[in-house]
């Protein structure tokens, strides 16, 4: 999605809930870094130190999924997938374009 629209226009942030399954971050982080490097993940991957406990507290979400937010900071979709996610992404990108002042 980020490749399609461009990282300068749309940011995709991965929130990693894995640490919730590990006893110590010291053992988890090197493992995670290796995987990110191997798969050349170059978009932000943030760590939810307490796993889903953290995502519940912030977003009231307790499972894998996503949150689509437009340029005004308004949530436009929650746990959207496939075509619906594409549609929402196009919608928020369109909304952002409209907001740009004319030169």
Partner 1 sequence: MRKFLLLMLWPLLAPLDGYGGQPSDDQTTPIILKMEESKASRPGKLQLTDEELKDPQKLRTRLLKGWPKEDLVKRGVLEVDGHNYYLYLPQAKGYSVKNTKLADTDFDNTSTLISVDQNGDGRITDADGWFANLPLRVGDKMYDVTEIAADASWIVLKPSKSPLRGVIVGRTCPPFSFTTADGKVVSRESLARKPFILDIWSIT
Task: By CB under 8 A, name the binding residues for partner 1.
Answer: 1-2, 9-18, 20, 29, 31-33, 35-36, 44-48, 50-71, 73-79, 89, 92-93, 95-96
CB of 86 to partner 1, least distance (A): 11
- As given in the structure block, the two tokens for residue 73 are 């900071």
Q: Are 31 and 38 in contact (CB under 8 A)?
A: no
The strand pairing partners of 32, in sequence order, are none
Q: Are 19 and 35 in contact (CB under 8 A)?
A: no
Q: Which is nearer to partner 1, 24 or 76 (CB)?
A: 76
Identify the CA nearest to 22 among candidates 45, 46, 51, 44. Answer: 51
CB of 88 to partner 1, least distance (A): 9
CB of 40 to partner 1, least distance (A): 13
């Amino acid at each position: 999605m980020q490749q399609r629209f461009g990282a300068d226009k749309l940011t995709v942030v991965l929130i990693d809930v894995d640490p919730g399954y590990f006893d110590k971050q010291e053992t988890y982080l090197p493992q995670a870094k290796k995987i990110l490097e191997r798969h050349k993940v170059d978009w932000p991957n943030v760590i939810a130190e307490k796993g889903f406990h953290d995502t519940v507290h912030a977003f009231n979400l307790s499972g894998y999924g996503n949150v689509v937010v437009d340029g005004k900071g308004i949530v436009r979709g929650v746990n959207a997938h496939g075509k619906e996610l594409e549609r929402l992404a196009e919608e928020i990108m369109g909304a952002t374009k409209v907001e740009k002042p004319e030169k």
